Amino acid sequence: MTVAPLAIGLVAHDEKKAALVEWALAHADFLKDKALFATGTTGGRILEALPQLHLVRLKSGPLGGDQQLGAMIAEGRLDVLVFFVDPLSPQPHDVDVKALIRLATLANIPFACNPATADLIVAR
């Protein structure tokens, strides 16, 4: 019996993209055999740093990427959401962000909004 790889969604607000790339670099061994899905710009930044990862780039967050991740959660196709949130900057697509967080909560999947929480998920 083959077990599907853990499916992880990766997204970060603009001011947190560098932190997510740093986190991905620190956990490259963990991520290397996972099914990774990231919003457009975030995914591009991660792939620049770690081109060997199998990562599917979705649309940019404000252009539908957040909804794509949300649909994956609703369909049971995402196991973990790592979303580094910038609580100090206004987000023009804040309703999309709140919907994504709500879906992750309703689906009862692990959701990390900062590096400390993401580290705990990886350490499981």
Say which of 66, 86, 96, 119 is annotated catalytic. 66
- Chain-centre distance for alpha carbon 96: 14
Q: What single-letter DSSP state applies at residue 100?
A: H
The stretches of the chain forming alpha helices (DSSP H) are 17-26, 28-31, 40-49, 65-74, 94-106, 115-122
Does residue 66 have an active-site annotation?
yes
Residues with catalytic roles: 66
